[in-house]
Amino acid sequence: MGEGKRGKPRSELERLQIFAQLATEYFRMVELFAPVPGPVPVDSVEAERRHWIELFRAVLLRKFIVPDEHVSLKLVVRALRMCNYSADPRLAEGTEAAAALFTNEMIRGRPALLAGFAAEDDPDLFEDVLYGRLLHGDADRFHRSGWAEDYARQSAVAADRLEAELALRKALDAVSYGLAHELLRSPKPDSDAVPPGDGPDPVPPGDGLPFEEI
């Protein structure tokens, strides 16, 4: 699925500016709601509170993970490549570092599949929780996500999303550096194409990165 036109940024530079603000706000939220370090009893109120904070973090990460979202890491990496008009090496290195850290597993939640838990061709596990229980009450997804009542399994799926925070931080660092040093510029209308390096060859074997599907 491609990027939708509704609410689409007016330029690739605006995409990066919006991303920078939203990612900064996300990490501030994580900081404000960080749990007190140390183990807690599994059946305690604090354990339940941590579980819900973890879910909310995973929900807020969605806009940075799902490929067709306007500020998804896939589109942000593409925008960084397109807007790096001077081919600044530090900016290029940060861009590729973010791309290398983000995998399809973070989108699909596949490593969290357990025996008898779900079939390999099932839809995104966390999306079922999101639309069936957290943001919406879609009946099909509600029933399909019945496994989410098991907090341990739900946390395992959410954890795949939370692993994307490292890639998000790398991308934010790259965008912030580019904006601060005025190294980013939207490409001309007639050059709004896949930039050099976005062809089919850069993906290391086994990484399954979504960034090259642009």
pLDDT tens-place string over residues 96-135: 999 999 877 666 544 433 333 344 334 467 788 888 888 8
Q: Averaged over 146-151, what is the pLDDT?
A: 79
Distance CA 174, CA 178 (A): 6
What confidence tens digit (pLDDT) does each residue in 17-28 have? 999 999 999 999
What confidence tens digit (pLDDT) does each residue in 77-96 have? 999 999 999 999 999 999 99
Please state, for a pLDDT cut of 90, what percent of the chain lies above it.
45
Pick from 16, 163, 139: nearest CA to 85: 16
The yes-or-no verdict on residue 209 having pLDDT over 50 is no
End-to-end CA distance of the chain, in Å? Answer: 11
